[in-house]
Amino acid sequence: MSAATIRAARRSDVPTILGFVRQLADFERLSHLCVATAEQFDEALFGTRPCAEAWMAEIGPTTVGYALAFTTFSTFVGRPGLWLEDLYVAPVHRRHGIGTAMLRHVAAIAVERGCGRLEWSVLDWNERAIALYRSLGADLLGDWRINRLTGDALLRVG
């Protein structure tokens, strides 16, 4: 299992989180969509009305990954949930149980908060991640499709 320590993110972690987000975008072949700034992350995580939270995985003094989640609500179960937006471990530290430890950490927080669900998405080509999630008992919801409005389309609808 992982030798990593997992702790809540601090404001001073924002540049590291943003760096990891950019690495994740590269890995997912979506770097062209990654336009977030440190100021936006600072406000989202630590501003007057935080809308997300993050956790850092460390091995000694080295930060090796992060997870970022936000609260959702399920009308079907009548309880809040957590949406795991990102779970990222630097490539050199993968396959050492750090991702599993981080997922377990976030799941424990969801349980502690009385959440009815912990949910996330995974790209269909990321077979290693899918295998990990299935090994932990996660259901891959093949009949659900994520929808998104962004940019001009969001402005037209809004």
User: Residues with catalytic annotation?
Assistant: 133
Question: From its phi and psi, is residue 131 left (phi > 0), alpha (psi between -120 and 50) or beta?
Answer: alpha
> Residue 75's CB: how many other CB atoms inside 10 A?
6
What token pair was written down for 38? 């440190």
Amino acid sitting at position 10:
R
Max Cα distance, the chain (Å): 49
> Residue 6's Cα: distance from chain center in Å?
14
Rounded distance between C-alpha atoms, residue 37 and residue 14, angstroms = 9
